[in-house]
Amino acid sequence: MSELNLIPQPVSIHYKDGYFQCAECPSANGDTVFKNEIAVFNEQIAALGRLSASALIECRQDTGLAPEAYRLSITPQKIALTAATGTGAYHGLQSLRQLILLGADTGAVSIPCVDIDDAPRFLWRGFMLDTSRYFYSIDFTKKLIDTLSLHHINRFHWHLTDDQGWRLPVKEYPLLTEIGSRKLSVRHQPRDARYIGGFYTEDEIRDLVAYAATRHIEIVPEVDLPGHANAILAAYPGLGCSGGPYRVEDRFGIFEEVLCAGNDDIFDLGDAVFNTLASLFPSKYVHIGGDEVLYNHWQKCPKCQRRLAETSLKSPRELQSWITVQLVQMLAKHGKIAIGWDEVLEDSPQYPLPKEVVVMSWRGTKGGIEASRLGHDVIMTPNSEGCYFDYKYRKDPEEPGQLGVSTIHQVYHMNPVNPDMPADVAARVLGGQANLWSELIYAGKIAEYMIFPRLCALAETVWTPSAAKDFDSFTRRLPAHQQRLERLGVLQYRGPMY
């Protein structure tokens, strides 16, 4: 009996006798509520070989199942899929795509007969791509999103702005992309083929959002404020404390240049940016960053000092909590919920962090544990437990990556829920995520090297219930899964698993 080698491992697989065999790629058909999912699946499968003329995968709605759940019953004659929603159906079809990816190049498949019952452990199964330090094309991003969806990942966190580049067009502030995107950089350095310059057009963003939606992935945009702001300041120097001169950074690190907390114009910018995001992204979440803000300028700037006096706040650090509250309230007017990096927890008694803010725990799990105890929803993406994919796979000078090590073993064992959390606190953990910061990741293929197969381990961490998780089993399934990744053209890493 051959194993299915699915990743992430489903909640339950019951093996039966016999095989489902088909000389060509089986195609799907079924209830009209699933017509979009069926169309996307048939297109994905047609890329692998000849599609069989007769649909052998029958998709039926069963409203009794949980929203993201699916059931598969594979018999020698046909494959029956049931789900309550399009999302559940899509997940089931992606598990089937995994099985078909192991078939022959002609499309011929042979799949053991099984019954599968499956549903996710967590609501938030995320991946973040930094498009500021390096600019990734829409085509690359689509290929990535498609492969993420093969693993039931459902959130794509799009880091669109940082010191090294602003990628979001904002009508009222044209210089953000004119100057802040470094769009001329490649032309200015003709021998440097790295795409560090560029921005996404509104049409490209809408197209990508729609593409991701057909794969049941929600795109959550991030605009990092009030730090990581050199690209903004290069475009609009009046928004900084000193007035400049500023430049879009080409060095890496944490910079002192941040938005001036004493200048009301920063909220006009925020308003225009949030308007733009609200018009382009249906997600109810907007990530506002908030990480690594240095206060050197706020300490000296007369406008910032005046703001401190007006607000009766004690320190520049507390000014950040005042700004966070303003941004959260502005987003609420658009019906959006703010997500912040865990620094937003460092609030002030006068301006406590509003309870609706979702905290993304990156400096270990401490922030997430604290935030969930305080009543915030939380997403775990601890850099200490394998979730930073810009870190090396192993401590080896030959490995690409920087700042640390994120092993496959670590990300597999990252548990978003701390065992000491009471049930009501644990319920506020929405899930987990991995992040790819792109300082050193100057080509899509290097990005793929860093992402796969660590992402496969993350997928199992956020999808599979603890009882069905087992690292030895994962490492046994991985070689077959690597063949799938190879066939999709995303497997660049070939090193060991530890």
Q: How far is the CB of 362 from ligand ACM (least distance, A)?
A: 4
Interface with ligand ACM: number of residues (CB under 6 A): 4
- Tracing tokens 């000296």 back to the chain, one arrives at 300
Q: Residue 270's binding partner, choosing from ligand ACM, Zn ion, none, with beta-carbon cut-off 5 to 8 A by kind?
A: none
DSSP 3-state assignment of 345? helix
| Residues 6+ positions from 38 with CB-CB distance below 8 Å | 28, 29, 30, 59, 89, 93
Q: Residue 432's binding partner, choosing from Zn ion, ligand ACM, none, with beta-carbon cut-off 5 to 8 A by kind?
A: none
Q: Residue 316's binding partner, choosing from ligand ACM, Zn ion, none, with beta-carbon cut-off 5 to 8 A by kind?
A: none
For the stretch 37-60, what's the b/e string if a residue is b when 16 or more beta carbons lie within 10 angstroms of its beta carbon? bbebbbebbeebbebbeebbbebe
Contacting residue, 115, 204, 292, 470, with ligand ACM by CB under 6 A: 292
Q: Burial level of 267, CB count in 10 A (0-12/13-18/19+)?
A: middle
Q: Burial level of 389, CB count in 10 A (0-12/13-18/19+)?
A: buried
Told to judge if 292 belongs to the known catalytic residues of this protein, a careful annotator would answer: yes
Q: Residue 457's binding partner, choosing from Zn ion, ligand ACM, none, with beta-carbon cut-off 5 to 8 A by kind?
A: none
Q: How far is the CB of 242 from Zn ion (least distance, A)?
A: 8
Which positions from 346 through 365 interact with ligand ACM, judged by CB under 6 A? 362
Among candidate residues 37, 146, 162, 163, the one labeled active-site is 162
Residue 169 preceded by cis peptide, ω within 30: no
Q: Residue 341's binding partner, choosing from ligand ACM, Zn ion, none, with beta-carbon cut-off 5 to 8 A by kind?
A: ligand ACM
Residue 231 and residue 132 in contact, taking contact as beta carbons nearer than 8 Å:
yes
Residue 112 preceded by cis peptide, ω within 30: no
Q: How far is the CB of 261 from Zn ion (least distance, A)?
A: 6
DSSP 3-state assignment of 63? coil
Which positions from 112 through 171 interact with ligand ACM, judged by CB under 6 A? none
Q: Does 294 bind Zn ion (CB under 5 A)?
A: no
Contacting residue, 65, 145, 258, 301, with Zn ion by CB under 5 A: 301
Which positions from 362 through 421 interact with ligand ACM, judged by CB under 6 A? 362
Told to judge if 58 belongs to the known catalytic residues of this protein, a careful annotator would answer: no
| Residues 6+ positions from 105 with CB-CB distance below 8 Å | 49
| Residues 6+ positions from 74 with CB-CB distance below 8 Å | 16, 20, 80, 111, 112, 113, 114, 115, 116
Among candidate residues 207, 292, 399, 470, the one labeled active-site is 292
Residue nearer to Zn ion on the CB measure, 305 or 384 = 305
Told to judge if 228 belongs to the known catalytic residues of this protein, a careful annotator would answer: yes
Q: Residue 115's binding partner, choosing from ligand ACM, Zn ion, none, with beta-carbon cut-off 5 to 8 A by kind?
A: none
The dihedral built from the CA positions of residue 224, 230, 234 and 238, taken in this order, carries a sign that is: positive
Residue 187 and residue 217 in contact, taking contact as beta carbons nearer than 8 Å:
no
Among candidate residues 228, 287, 297, 481, the one labeled active-site is 228
Q: Does 341 bind ligand ACM (CB under 6 A)?
A: yes
The residues carrying an active-site annotation are 162, 228, 292
Give me the residues that bind Zn ion (CB under 5 A), please: 241, 260, 262, 301, 303-304
Residues at the site binding ligand ACM, with contacts judged by CB under 6 A: 291-292, 341, 362
